[in-house]
Structure 1
Amino acid sequence: MRTLVVCLNPTFQHTLVFSSFSLGEVNRAQQHYLDSSGKGMNAARILTQLGHKAILLTHLGGKRKDEMLELSERDGVAVRWADSHSDIRTCTTILCQGTATELVEEPYPVDPSTEAGIRVLFTQALDEADALIITGTRAPGYAPSLYADFVREAKQRGRFVLLDLKGDDLKACLPFRPDVIKPNLSEAVHTFLGQTVGEQEKTDHLMASIRSTMEEIHRTYGTITVLSRGKQEMWVQGESFFTVPVEEVEAVNTIGCGDSLGAALTASLYTGTNLQHAAIYATNVATLNAKSIHPGSIV
């Protein structure tokens, strides 16, 4: 299978490993790594490592775009891109004594001309794809309707669609009946219930309220909802509701686990695996990602 992965928020991911870390002091990293990243690149890399073909559609710009393309080529991911005429951000992961701290740069706005190029590239790339993943927040400068337009076109052309979105982008896409939505629980609760929940908080008490929303989404749109909850069991709503336990492991780097989950779900469901087996498989792939020092990687 070949999957088109759309992510309009690319980033370099700098991973630094420390034996100890003190604010206000000089801290020397024992190891450091640079990867092409962003939620879309993570998902595309995982698909490639699972033996599938992936095309990443994104924007690039600034002095480091060739570096990003070289890193992507190293990982076997084909990139289709429009020029954003803006720099690519860098996010930093600090790993220290079993904890991961993420330092996130906000994206630069894209040039007003970028969207037209992205729309043309999307239609062209969709010709080559069996499935579509749209993931991540749009950088400033794109029309609010962009992702919904992509989902509408993909479903009109019979493609499998998985969305790893939140907020208005996610809600605007639902009327076009994506096959799967995969926000994490905190994103889903904020999107559909207007509540704020930390990603590491205990959330069992939210099951009843969010489960009714998941049921309504499936009843109205025929869309499967998969809610990841970090180390806690995953909640899944298709024809019926079920949970999937998450294996307890000594995590090295959890960046990209959700992206790995979405990639594996897409590959498994598209090839005909039933939902429960696909959810278990995807959870196992996400667990492998947590054992890797690199974001969005299982090797």
Structure 2
Amino acid sequence: MILTVTPNPSLDRTYEVPVLERGEVIRASGERMDPGGKGVNVSRAVAAAGRRTLAVLPLGGAPGALIAELLDAQGIEVAPVPVAGATRSNIALAEADGVLTKINAPGPELTPAEEESLLAAVRTHSADAHWIACCGSLPLGLAPSWYADVVARAHSGGARIALDTSGPALLQALGARPDVVKPNAEELSAAVGRRLVTVGDAVKAAEELRTMGARAVLASLGADGQLLVDGEGTWFGTAPVAAVRSNVGAGDSSLAGFLIAGGSGPEALASAVAHGAAAVQLPGSVMPTPADLDPASVTVTSDVPVDLVLTEPVS
């Protein structure tokens, strides 16, 4: 079972529009409403693959109640932690050319009692978990060290931790030695404090995160592919994508694919790449099912193209 922890979940509304024009009335060609938040998306992708998952998350107000209903309709077990504030609602505008504009609300501030209830829920449900995936930004009320505390507690109970966050929360958690961290190129660049121009730059940055405590780094490099750096070696994975429809949740789908396939080594990287490539070709934050995957199109190699210039260098 894969347990997910999403401290700041959301109700995600995605509108497909021909082109985004400021100050104009725009008629959407399609719309979706999905339960959101990075950990929630991981659970949705795991469930879409036919595997058991349980989502631990704070929920409040009408948006929180709707998230619980939507997850239940998708067959996902939920361990809700009631909070006084209303769960946030996010908006994504997906243009026909693949450009995505997101408006993310800050979310409610958690009280010390609500924080403790969230930690208690993780402890209660972690005994049966093969992996615990802690994902997303921290809401107001939780210190940047919160994920580090969760990682330490999980390891003391024998669980493995996958961490997908950024900024101070990521940096502070590295010292607790998460089993795998999953930054995108921008988050990887910010973590090491320098510009990434080539795949080789990304490899060096991932190696630095390992030096800082991460046992493995699964890095999404956007259209250029994905990178896995761990104690056994370095691998680079790619897959062709006919057309990008929406990249909302694609990284979360990749992490789910990685964990489903065992969470280590080139086979898990291949699964991550297949899930990510399938997700970007689906609308909104729809998670791919096995029928959407094309594992035969995935290429994974230890001959990493370190001189390949990233399509979108980041700083």
Instruction: Please confirm whether the aligned pair reaches a TM-score higher than 0.5, indicating the same fold.
Output: yes
Deviates more, 1:227-236 or 1:43-52: 227-236
Distance 1:218 1:64, change over 3 A: closer
Q: Offset of 1:184 from its aligned partner?
A: 0.8
Matches within 5 A, 1:1-299: 2-99=1-98, 100-191=100-191, 193-195=192-194, 203-205=196-198, 207-208=200-201, 210-218=202-210, 221=213, 223-238=215-230, 239-270=232-263, 275-299=265-289
**Separation in 2 of the partners of 1:67 and 1:298?**
22
CA deviation profile, 1:56-96 (whole Å, cap 9, x unmatched): 11111123322111111112211112222111111111122
**Separation in 1 of the partners of 2:199 and 2:47?**
35
Distance 1:71 1:92, change over 3 A: same
Whether the 8 Å contact between 1:43 and 1:296 is mirrored in structure 2 is no
Whether the 8 Å contact between 2:109 and 2:140 is mirrored in structure 1 is yes
Distance 1:93 1:222, change over 3 A: closer
**Separation in 2 of the partners of 1:16 and 1:113?**
36
TM-score (norm 2): 0.85
**Separation in 2 of the partners of 1:66 and 1:145?**
28
**Separation in 2 of the partners of 1:141 and 1:219?**
30
Whether the 8 Å contact between 2:225 and 2:273 is mirrored in structure 1 is no
**Separation in 1 of the partners of 2:228 and 2:217?**
6
Give the share of equivalent positions with the same residue, in percent: 23
CA RMSD of aligned residues (A): 2.0
Distance 1:216 1:251, change over 3 A: closer
Whether the 8 Å contact between 2:189 and 2:205 is mirrored in structure 1 is no
Secondary structure, aligned partner of 1:64? helix
TM-score (norm 1): 0.89
Q: Offset of 1:37 from its aligned partner?
A: 0.8
Query: What stretches of structure 1 of length at least 5 have no aligned partner?
Result: 198-202
For residue 234 of structure 1, what is the amino acid of its counterpart? Q
CA deviation profile, 1:21-51 (whole Å, cap 9, x unmatched): 4321221222211111111111100001111
Q: Offset of 1:220 from its aligned partner?
A: 6.5
Query: How many residue pairs align between the two structures?
Result: 287
Which residue is equivalent to 1:200?
A: none
Secondary structure, aligned partner of 1:252? coil
Which residue is equivalent to 2:299?
A: none
The ranges of structure 1 where at least 4 consecutive aligned residues each deviate by more than 6 angstroms after the TM superposition are: none
Whether the 8 Å contact between 1:72 and 1:79 is mirrored in structure 2 is yes
For residue 265 of structure 1, what is the amino acid of its counterpart? F
For residue 240 of structure 1, what is the amino acid of its counterpart? G
**Separation in 2 of the partners of 1:255 and 1:163?**
18
Whether the 8 Å contact between 2:7 and 2:58 is mirrored in structure 1 is yes
Whether the 8 Å contact between 1:13 and 1:90 is mirrored in structure 2 is yes
**Separation in 2 of the partners of 1:206 and 1:69?**
40
Q: Offset of 1:169 from its aligned partner?
A: 1.7
